[in-house]
Amino acid sequence: DAGVIQSPRHEVTEMGQEVTLRCKPISGHDYLFWYRQTMMRGLELLIYFNNNVPIDDSGMPEDRFSAKMPNASFSTLKIQPSEPRDSAVYFCASSLGLRITEAFFGQGTRLTVV
Amino acid sequence: DAKTTQPPSMDCAEGRAANLPCNHSTISGNEYVYWYRQIHSQGPQYIIHGLKNNETNEMASLIITEDRKSSTLILPHATLRDTAVYYCIVRSENSGGSNYKLTFGKGTLLTVNP
What would the pLDDT profile of A40-66 be if each residue is shown by its tens digit?
888 888 999 999 999 889 999 889 999
Q: Which of residues 45-64 of B touch A (CB under 8 A)?
A: 45-46, 49
CB B84, CB B75: distance < 8 Å: no
Instruction: Please check whether residue A96 touches B, CB under 8 A.
Output: no
Q: How far is B107 from chain A (nearest CA, A)?
A: 9
Instruction: Please check whether residue A93 touches B, CB under 8 A.
Output: yes
DSSP assignment letter at B8: S
pLDDT for residue B111 is more than 50: yes
Do the chains contact at A45 and B42, CB–CB below 8 Å? no
Residue B3's pLDDT is: 85
Residues of chain A predicted below pLDDT 70:
1, 98-101
Which helix (H) or strand (E) segment holds residue B10: the answer is: strand B9-13
Percent of chain A at pLDDT > 90 equals 77
Q: How far is B59 from chain A (nearest CA, A)?
A: 14
pLDDT for residue B5 is more than 90: yes
Amino acid identity for residue B93 in this structure: E
Which chain A residue's Cα is nearest to B104? A43
Residues 6+ apart with CB under 8 A from A45: A33, A34, A35, A59, B101, B102, B103
pLDDT tens-place string over residues B26-46: 998 888 899 999 998 788 898
Distance CA B66, CA B71 (A): 10
